[in-house]
Amino acid sequence: MSGEIREAAAVRDGEPSLALDVKKVREDFPILKMRIHGKPLVYLDNAASTQKPYAVIDAYNVFYSGCYSNIHRGVYHLSETATKAYEDAREKARAFIGARGIEETIFVSGTTEGINLVAQTYGREKIGKGDEVLVTWMEHHSNIVPWQMICEEKGAVLRAVPIDDRGDLVMDELEKMLGPRTRIVAVTHVSNALGTVNPVKEIVRLAHRRGIPVLIDGAQAVAHMRVDVRDLDCDFYVFSGHKLFGPTGIGILYGKKELLESMPPYQGGGDMIRSVTFEKTTYNAPPYRFEAGTPNIAGAISLGAAIDYVAALGFDAIAEHESAIQAHAAEVLSSIPGLRLVGDARTRIGVFSFVMEGIHPHDIGTILDREGIAVRTGHHCAQPAVDRFGVPATARASFAVYNTREEVDALASGLLKVREVLL
């Protein structure tokens, strides 16, 4: 697929040399042909969830119609096929993030479950009274609340690294806040509300210098940039399939082998055990120790298809296309009278939160919707980050690989219409 895409781009003259033919990419996503209120759908809520290509939809369909059974159970043909497909998907996920082995690659229901798993197993064992957990002001609620819960239970303290007026982490503060009682640092790779790309490799280096492990919330990163957990040297990395063009209800928790092996199970049940008697149960090794019960088999297999799809496009091509769209969006948005961007980080991706003078984000959302444009409005499940900028809510346009310059322009016209209707 990527071969074709590159060829198509190469024959075009006089246009910026995008290695990715976005028209072709769009053909892979059936929903993008939809019309909303009579207008072509302009889907700009990719930070909330991404749309699905045929490759993913078909993988679901093929699995349920052609080779469905439970896994890790039967000796019959169907079960073997399903088990192999599930484990092949795990291998794809492993390679995708550069984990050393499949024992470091755990299927979870999504980023939220992955973080809860670490908080309730690793956290429960390591965090005690008076200890500290360090997060940041730009975390999604899913990287705040699980830590808050365990801190409350243990009498530990949740601390948050501040962000500056541009939406960057204040790194000096972060360094100062890494103390002798810090048991874990949990930080987002990319902010879902501000678009900030955090210097996670540097954060890991600083934390490790003091022997503190780091969990990275990769939910907003994986669809936009190559992630290499060995290069980052992070201890845990978590992401959701549905933000990577895959299905909902599936995600990946990466953990370093030596940490996972020392961790107790998260939930008890089938598949996570080695043997069970009423006196004593011995637990299975990672990753299975953390996958109790029949997992989301179809979700895992379809996530594998999504990973294949993204790999075929290639992150170089994706990044080149997205940075062109991002630059255009930044320019166009700044030309709208009364519009103020919330978050202007030095390193960022195409997630733009904004407010308009005299206009509430909710009204922006409704009027854009009538133009076929889907944006998110509200606090984006990152209330502290939005509060930090002194606004109760923002509107947010977030871009993915299938978005076009024309869609950026449609957003601009939509925003002018918002002014026309409301001002």
Partner 1 sequence: MSDLRDLYQEVILDHGRNPRNFGKLESANRRAEGYNPLCGDRFTIYLFVDEGIVRDIRFEGSGCAIALASASMMSEDLKGRSEKDAEKRFGQFHALLTGDPSDREGAADPALGKLAVFSGVREFPVRVKCATLPWHAFEAALKEERETATTE
Q: Which residues bind partner 1 (CB under 8 A)?
A: 358-363, 366-367, 370, 377-379, 383, 386, 392-393, 421-422
CB of 307 vs partner 1, minimal distance in Å: 33
CB of 138 vs partner 1, minimal distance in Å: 17
| Cβ neighbours for 56, distance < 8 A, ≥ 6 positions apart | 245, 246, 247, 302, 305, 306, 309
**Other C-beta atoms within 10 Å of 15: how many?**
7
Q: Of 227 and 393, which has the nearer Cβ to partner 1?
A: 393
Q: Of 124 and 360, which has the nearer Cβ to partner 1?
A: 360
Q: Of 130 and 392, which has the nearer Cβ to partner 1?
A: 392
From the candidates 67, 151, 234, 381, which is the catalytic residue? 381
> Cα-flanking dihedrals φ and ψ of residue 399, to 5°?
-105, 155
Q: Of 229 and 393, which has the nearer Cβ to partner 1?
A: 393
Q: Of 361 and 372, which has the nearer Cβ to partner 1?
A: 361
CB of 48 vs partner 1, minimal distance in Å: 13
- For the chain, what's the residue count? 423
Q: Which long-range contacts (CB under 8 A, 24 or more apart) does 328-332 make?
A: 328/405, 328/408, 329/397, 329/399, 329/408, 329/411, 332/408, 332/409, 332/411, 332/412
Task: Assign 423 to helix, strand or coil.
Answer: coil
Q: Of 319 and 393, which has the nearer Cβ to partner 1?
A: 393
CB of 110 vs partner 1, minimal distance in Å: 21
Listing DSSP states for 330-389 in one string gives HHHHHTSTTEEEE---SSB-SEEEEEETTB-HHHHHHHHHHTTEE-EEE-TT-HHHHHHT
CB 115, CB 140: distance < 8 Å = no
CB of 362 vs partner 1, minimal distance in Å: 4
Helices (H), 19-144: 22-27, 54-66, 77-97, 111-118, 124-126
d(CA 345, CA 327): 13
| Cβ neighbours for 344, distance < 8 A, ≥ 6 positions apart | 166, 167
CB of 359 vs partner 1, minimal distance in Å: 8
* Orientation angle between helical segments 2-10 and 315-334, nearest 10 degrees: 60
CB 352, CB 386: distance < 8 Å = no
234 is catalytic: no
CB of 1 vs partner 1, minimal distance in Å: 37
Q: Of 66 and 358, which has the nearer Cβ to partner 1?
A: 358
Listing DSSP states for 95-127 in one string gives HHHT-S-GGGEEEESSHHHHHHHHIIIIIHHH-
CB of 208 vs partner 1, minimal distance in Å: 37
Q: Of 386 and 400, which has the nearer Cβ to partner 1?
A: 386
Between strands 132-136 and 157-161, the pairing is parallel
| Cβ neighbours for 236, distance < 8 A, ≥ 6 positions apart | 114, 118, 122, 213, 214, 215, 216, 253, 254, 255, 256, 259
Tell me the catalytic residues: 381
